Amino acid sequence: MENPLQAIVPITPRKILALVAAACGLLLAFGFYLQYFQDQDPCPLCLVQRGFYFVLMLVCAAGAIHGPRAVGNAVYSLSGFLLAAGGAAVAGRQVWLQHLPPDKVPACGPDLYFMLENLPIVRTVEKLFKGSGQCAEVKWTFLNLSIAEWSLVCFVLFALLAAWNAALGRSARSN
């Protein structure tokens, strides 16, 4: 039985990749809007999540432009899934920090620029992924979810779309 939505809007692996790339671009743009127009300075974990969104956007845009067959689609989908899972792990860490009791929140550390100038890169990356007290602050919410919680939702959605895209590419090949 064919999907009724398929008759209205044919869903192809290429369109899913384009959709994820566009969504990542919009999320990055919104993050920059919050940073530069709403004075919401990103914490270290936010910066890491931006990195995942940016690379995910590049991979999905490349896949959408390339329009690969089954094997190529599987490579783009797996890459997208791994990037989305990595972003979800970082966002999940930040959500966990945000829900810690105030006395358990780690102390705030130096900002990214200071760490890049004064620490070895391995130590900087370690500190970025660990997070700090700044990562536990919730300054903005929408529908009662923080930026980190929305980011977690988006990364999980992107991981599911990547998995679906891989399956869609396989089924298109077998037809």
The mean predicted confidence, pLDDT, of the chain is: 82
What kind and span of H or E run contains 141? strand 141-142
Q: How far is CA 111 from CA 72, 103, 131, in A?
A: 39, 22, 11
- Rounded CA-CA distance 77/13 in Å is 9
What's the confidence (pLDDT) of residue 151? 93
Tokens of 105: 């929140």
What's the confidence (pLDDT) of residue 170? 61
For 49-63, write each residue's pLDDT tens digit.
999 999 999 999 999
Q: Per-residue pLDDT for 82 more than 60?
A: yes
What domains lie within the chain, and their CATH numbers?
11-170 (1.20.1550.10)
Q: Which comes out higher in pLDDT, residue 26 or 168?
A: 26
pTM: 0.79
User: Stretch 59-68: mean pLDDT, rounded?
Assistant: 89
- Rounded CA-CA distance 47/129 in Å is 10
Q: What percent of the chain has pLDDT over 90?
A: 36
Q: Which comes out higher in pLDDT, residue 34 or 99?
A: 34
Q: Which comes out higher in pLDDT, residue 144 or 87?
A: 87
Q: Per-residue pLDDT for 100 more than 50?
A: yes
For 116-137, write each residue's pLDDT tens digit.
777 787 877 776 666 555 676 7
